[in-house]
Amino acid sequence: MKIGVIGLGNMGVPMARNLVLAGYEVRGFDIVSPCPKDIKAAKSAVELSTLSDVVIMMLPSGSIVKEVADEILPNMAKGSILLDCSTIDVESTRLVAETATNYGVLMADAPVSGGVSGAVAGTLTFMVGGSAEAFSTLKPLFDIMGQKAVHCGDSGNGQAAKICNNMILGATMIVTCEAFALADKLGLDREKMYDVVSTSSGYSWSMNAYCPAPDIGPISPADNDYKPGFSADLMLKDLRLSQQAAKAVDADTPLGMHATSLYKTFVEIEDGQGKDFSAMLPRFSKKTRTDT
Ligand code: NAD
């Protein structure tokens, strides 16, 4: 199976590299980033698509994914697979899947959880939308790049799972941070708060695995001056996708909406840009109530 990877950024390079290390022939293409020496460089997305049985896209947005798919799909062999691992909107995913079907190409959306460290370590979680046939053909690749792949249903369902997961994550991180800031003001030691909450009903991934308070719990970006990790910018992107999807299907998501607005303020007006999404804790620590 020959593989092409389009989008050689923070995630695309380590994912491609793990496939090379597993013995696959992998070509890479990016309009800006140079192709690393250990990955064969393709001259264009079109050249890459004609030489690949599976084309993986790891790109920033739905509009770019649509643009690249429109360019390469007419050149892909019938029965080959287009695998989009980018996080994008459900609507664009389903449109690209429809176009792929018209060209006789299988399409799967498989956004990931686990970030850059998961991509490097090959421990990503893939949330996969598309046919059972595409999923089973791609499974060996998911097993190399990740530790778990869940077939979530038809096209778009991988993106749906990703944005629902990250809407929970964004809201949970915010409330974990505001609880730490409240505990500080109540004179409750952060270590004690962690000991209680991480083993009580308030526990969550944000508290137990990615604690936003420095020097508490397992090592996390809080211990590295809030360098990402998973940036507040990317959390804002995913929360916006969740609200775009919620609007499209008329779903009431008040906490998701409020989390989006808080991360928007943090990234665009305050100093959150480029920081880890758990840097909400020092943000809340600086704030006072506005309703009194
Ligand atoms: P990135 O910006 O580092 O990489 C994207 C790459 O795509 C860039 O190198 C860019 O030059 C390239 N690109 C843009 N337009 C292109 C085009 N038309 N043709 C070819 N290449 C093009 O982004 P990233 O961090 O690697 O993230 C990629 C995707 O993965 C995004 O959708 C992101 O939301 C998602 N994601 C990222 C993380 C993370 O922690 N970084 C975690 C989970 C999911």
Span 136-155, pLDDT tens digits: 999 999 999 999 999 999 99
pLDDT bucket at 275, cuts 50 / 70 / 90: very high
Atom of ligand 1 nearest to the CA of 32: 11
pLDDT at 170: 98
Residue 292 in this model has a pLDDT that exceeds 90: no
pLDDT at 35: 97
pLDDT at 144: 98
Cα-to-chain-centroid distance, residue 73: 24
Condensed to tens digits (0 to 9), the pLDDT of residues 226-255 reads 999 999 999 999 999 999 999 999 999 999
**What's the CA-to-centroid distance between 180 and ligand 1, angstroms?**
33
172, two tokens: 């949970």
Of all protein residues, the one whose alpha carbon is nearest to atom 11 of ligand 1 is: 32
Q: Which residues pair with 25 in a beta bridge?
A: 2
pLDDT bucket at 42, cuts 50 / 70 / 90: very high
**What's the CA-to-centroid distance between 213 and ligand 1, angstroms?**
29
Q: Which of 2, 37, 162, 286 is catalytic?
A: 162
pLDDT bucket at 34, cuts 50 / 70 / 90: very high
Cα 108 to Cα 138, 140, 169: the distances in Å are: 9, 14, 24
Q: Catalytic residue at 162? A: yes
Mean pLDDT (whole number) for 99-106: 98
Amino acid at 165: N
pTM: 0.95
235 lines ligand 1 (CB under 6 A): no
pLDDT at 59: 98
Rounded CA-CA distance 217/219 in Å is 7
**What's the CA-to-centroid distance between 64 and ligand 1, angstroms?**
10
74, two tokens: 């007419």
